[in-house]
Amino acid sequence: MPDARFQPLPGFRDFAPQECAFRNYLFNTWRRVAHRYGFVEWEAPTLEATELYLKKSGGELPTQLFRFTDQGERDITVRPELTASLGRIAAAYQREYTKPLKWFEIGSCFRYEKPQKGRLREFVQFNADILGEAGEGSDAELIALAIDCMREFGFTAEDFVVRVSDREVWLRYAAENGVPEERVGDFLAVIDKFERDRPEACQEKLSAFGMKREELVDFIQNPPAGCSPRYDAVLAELEARGLAEYVQLDLHVVRGLAYYTGLVFEIFDKGRSLRAVAGGGRYNGLVATLSNGAVDMPATGFAMGDAVIAHLIEACPAARALRDAVLKPDACDVCLVLAAPEMRPQMLSLASVLRDAGVRVDLPLSPAKMGNQLKRAEKIGARYAVVIGSEYPEVELKNLSTRESIHTDPDGLMTELLGDADEA
Amino acid sequence: MPDARFQPLPGFRDFAPQECAFRNYLFNTWRRVAHRYGFVEWEAPTLEATELYLKKSGGELPTQLFRFTDQGERDITVRPELTASLGRIAAAYQREYTKPLKWFEIGSCFRYEKPQKGRLREFVQFNADILGEAGEGSDAELIALAIDCMREFGFTAEDFVVRVSDREVWLRYAAENGVPEERVGDFLAVIDKFERDRPEACQEKLSAFGMKREELVDFIQNPPAGCSPRYDAVLAELEARGLAEYVQLDLHVVRGLAYYTGLVFEIFDKGRSLRAVAGGGRYNGLVATLSNGAVDMPATGFAMGDAVIAHLIEACPAARALRDAVLKPDACDVCLVLAAPEMRPQMLSLASVLRDAGVRVDLPLSPAKMGNQLKRAEKIGARYAVVIGSEYPEVELKNLSTRESIHTDPDGLMTELLGDADEA
């Protein structure tokens, strides 16, 4: 356990090497799957003009900003999310890239919220978006990418579900049930809280629209066949990909933010023990809003956070096993051990040759007993120790897992090790 | 060129996919070389309590902070550098790791400075530090790591030099020339500006110490043999590693910050066209200062920024060639082309099989003409197009660089492509 006297700010995390190895495991997994889907990486500045976030209306976001005035009197904000920057940057660069844009990003976001399980003030999001494509094929591509990220972490259809919904269904429902246009946003907000509100509180809100909660429960539980042609199209695409078992139509989902326009989805653990691990949907008007109408591109995207997924991995044995495999200390391939101090120049020369060949090498930085050097080699997870003594250029190559040992010279060493390094 | 209407804040950068590919090239190079040296990665929070930075005295840093009061009335700062966090985190976690700690970090830092060539308000630093080791072996290991990063980018001894100095030499000089202890910091500040100040301005400052500028010019140009046993020891270590040609003793270097205690160094391009590309040194007392005396560890470290190195790469043909090789569009291995719209489910199924096998696949998200599909395949840098027509499961595999083409079935496709994917 870390020494409690040296804490980061509340809701912020330190990544000592163990924690950083786990973070990199998440990053590498997201990156690998995104690459398989033909997505390319982009990154936004960490600070943006606050107005960029205020253009995106709705939600609690404006109250959760790390917002301040800089030395040049600018109103700036430490980014709470990436979609606003994406809209700005895509508007700036879209002419230089073939459409649709399939872009992903991995980086920190910052929200002043009450820290709790799965909720931090600095957290990492994996963002994936498709811009310049309006068809359901892109919604399906995106949902498939989200599913494959979960599968790559070791989760199965037993562990998680993608709840897909369609805002259009609710907009039609509102129109057919006499909700005036200016109150549709309020109506969607009631649906958004439908599962979390106490039934009486929910009914009270619905009464303002002349609706009965039981009718809505029934509508959600038995959505009319064909109510969302979009969902049906996405389901067909996912079926062809062999991914239909991961999704279900669930009209509870509307997503809090006002800018979503069509299909929306959230990924939850099957036990619903935590908040959503990922969420997203179509936001066709947002790029135009963010660019003041200069660039209009249909868009769909999702974000997956690192805090919730860390808890889900911990709770799932298969996912935990994949994680634990990357958390073993693994600082180097070879630890050089100096048995004869006068051979230090030869040891340093050998270190350079091995490193130039791509081998990860550690070595004693000051005089130390053989036993301590070997102990360090084991602790940092070296696969081999190479003992350099007075009989140099003969060296001893010790395999630290099998305990086997051979005597060889630097050329023989290279042959032994490079075979290994190539595999790694 | 990006559309100028959608700019980030001044001194901040957008990373569209091309720029992000270059950024990732820097990150991957730093990471690869650090791993070869047996360093492990860590990361700090992006925001810290301001007092952490104020504990580190000296320099212009306190005037350049993005500093503000958060919603909980905390005085916080967007990190301007990483050493303060490193000291805090190393103090918290040091019991859990074998010493010496060899830790590296890659991440953004933020300083409110006037933006100019090689100087930004958000920039990335590669930080490498060795904690818990006082001997010159660790200074040499660190300088060797810095040199090998430069070599890995394609630079040679013709392109850059590591100017190494020793603060102890100046402390002794000050003592021998009657500088009172409380004014030693001011004296070091004069040396720090020695090269940049006009000679008259420099002489004026030196007169306060009763010194003549010419004497100091002579001392710097002809440092007495053996004046820095530390430097001699480091040079011997670097000689044994085959890296002596990259370093020179240069007493001009003292580094601005007050916390350096021994050897210090800076890397410059040979033409001295830009500020330092990297700088660092020994800071033995800092961990104790940052932990209020609770943890004391000798330490040495350096930081290399991304802004200066980008300019140096641009100016060096060999480094540019390495860079340009990674900047070619390369979004996927295979672009699926749908010639018969009714075969869309088969195409989607094939995409899943290929992606599950690790192949990077792009595909049409909505109906498009064959010609446009093939054009997209070329533009995003696909190596192959796979044409799916009505004769499926027979498909056509087109190599987009050689223009060769074969007809095969999904099994044959896997064999052809996986051989390739394994190499990649």
Phi and psi, residue B253, nearest 5°: -80, 120
> 């696949």: which residue's tokens?
B361
Asked if residue B346 lies in contact with residue A237, where contact means CB atoms within 8 angstroms, the answer is: no
pLDDT digits (tens, 9 = 90+) for B298-354: 999 999 999 999 999 999 999 999 999 988 888 899 999 999 999 999 999 999 999
CA distance B149 to B35: 11
Strands A384-388 and A334-338: parallel
Any idea what the Cα angle at residue A44 is, between residues B87 and B363, rounded to 5°?
A: 125
User: ipTM score here?
Assistant: 0.95
CA distance A61 to chain B (A): 14
CA distance A283 to chain B (A): 17
Q: Spell out which residues of chain A touch residue B91, defining contact as CB-CB under 8 Å.
A: 3, 5-6
**Long-range pairs of A72-77 with CB within 8 A, sequence gap ≥ 24:** A72/B10, A72/B112, A74/A49, A74/B9, A75/A49, A75/A50, A75/A51, A76/A47, A76/A48, A76/A49, A76/A50, A76/B9, A77/A47, A77/A48, A77/A49, A77/A50, A77/A52, A77/A53
Query: What does A277-308 look like in DSSP terms, one character per residue?
Result: SEEEEE-TTHHHHHTTTS----EEEEEEEHHH
Predicted confidence band at B57 (pLDDT cuts at 50, 70, 90)? low
One-letter amino acid identity for A103?
Answer: W
Q: Which two tokens stand for residue A157?
A: 């259809």
Name the closest residue on chain B to residue A137, using Cα atoms: B365
CA distances from B182 to B174, B179, B201, B284, B300 (A): 11, 8, 22, 20, 25
Asked if residue A412 lies in contact with residue A405, where contact means CB atoms within 8 angstroms, the answer is: no
Those residues whose C-beta lies under 8 Å from the C-beta of residue B341, and which sit 6 or more positions away, are B367
Q: Give the pLDDT confidence score for residue A3 in this predicted structure.
A: 86
pLDDT digits (tens, 9 = 90+) for B389-415: 999 999 999 999 999 999 999 999 999
One-letter amino acid identity for B101?
Answer: L
CA B71 from centre of chain: 33
| DSSP 8-state code for residue B18 | H
Those residues whose C-beta lies under 8 Å from the C-beta of residue B358, and which sit 6 or more positions away, are A36, B418, B421
CA distance B405 to chain A (A): 22
| DSSP 8-state code for residue A244 | G
CA distance A133 to A38: 15
Predicted confidence band at B421 (pLDDT cuts at 50, 70, 90)? very low
pTM of the model: 0.95
User: From first to last of its 424 residues, what are the pLDDT tens digits of chain A?
Assistant: 888 889 999 999 999 999 999 999 999 999 999 999 999 999 999 999 999 998 876 567 788 999 999 999 999 999 999 999 999 999 999 999 999 999 999 999 999 999 888 889 999 999 999 999 999 999 999 999 999 999 999 999 999 999 999 999 999 999 999 999 999 999 999 999 999 999 999 999 999 999 999 999 999 999 999 999 999 999 999 999 999 999 999 999 998 777 889 999 999 999 888 899 999 999 999 999 988 899 999 999 999 999 999 999 999 999 999 999 988 888 899 999 999 999 999 999 999 999 999 999 999 999 999 999 999 999 999 999 999 999 999 999 999 999 999 999 999 999 999 875 444 4
Q: Which of A328, A329, A333, A314 shows the shortest CA–CA distance to A386?
A: A333
Q: Give the pLDDT confidence score for residue A57 in this predicted structure.
A: 61
Q: Give the pLDDT confidence score for residue A58 in this predicted structure.
A: 59
pLDDT digits (tens, 9 = 90+) for B296-314: 999 999 999 999 999 999 9
Strand order in the sheet with A47-49: A47-49, A75-78, A66-69
> Using the beta-carbon criterion (under 8 Å), do A41 and B17 form an inter-chain contact?
yes
Neighbours of A285 (CB within 10 A): 15
Say whether the peptide bond before residue B80 is cis (omega within 30 degrees of 0). Answer: no
- Pick from B9, B41, B46: CB nearest A108: B46
Any idea what the Cα angle at residue B60 is, between residues B282 and B50, rounded to 5°?
A: 85
Beta strands in A24-65 (DSSP E): 40-41, 47-49
User: Looking at residues B108-121, what average pLDDT do you find?
Assistant: 92
Percent of chain B exceeding pLDDT 70 equals: 98
Say whether the peptide bond before residue A223 is cis (omega within 30 degrees of 0). Answer: no
Q: Give the pLDDT confidence score for residue B213 in this predicted structure.
A: 96
Q: Which two tokens stand for residue B403?
A: 């223009």
Q: Give the pLDDT confidence score for residue B422 in this predicted structure.
A: 47
CA distance B352 to A245: 14
For chain A, domains (ranges, CATH) are 17-325 (3.30.930.10), 334-423 (3.40.50.800)
Q: What is the 3-state secondary structure (H, E, C) of B44-64?
A: CCCEEEHHHHHHCCCCCHHHH
Asked if residue A274 lies in contact with residue A160, where contact means CB atoms within 8 angstroms, the answer is: no
> 């990483």: which residue's tokens?
B82
> Using the beta-carbon criterion (under 8 Å), do A47 and B66 form an inter-chain contact?
yes
User: In A, residues 85-144, which contact B (CB 8 Å cutoff)?
Assistant: 85, 88-89, 91-93, 95-98, 100, 102-103, 108, 110, 112, 121-122, 130, 133-135, 137-138, 141, 144
B358 touches chain A (CB under 8 A): yes
> Using the beta-carbon criterion (under 8 Å), do B7 and A355 form an inter-chain contact?
no
Q: Spell out which residues of chain A touch residue B361, defining contact as CB-CB under 8 Å.
A: 36-38
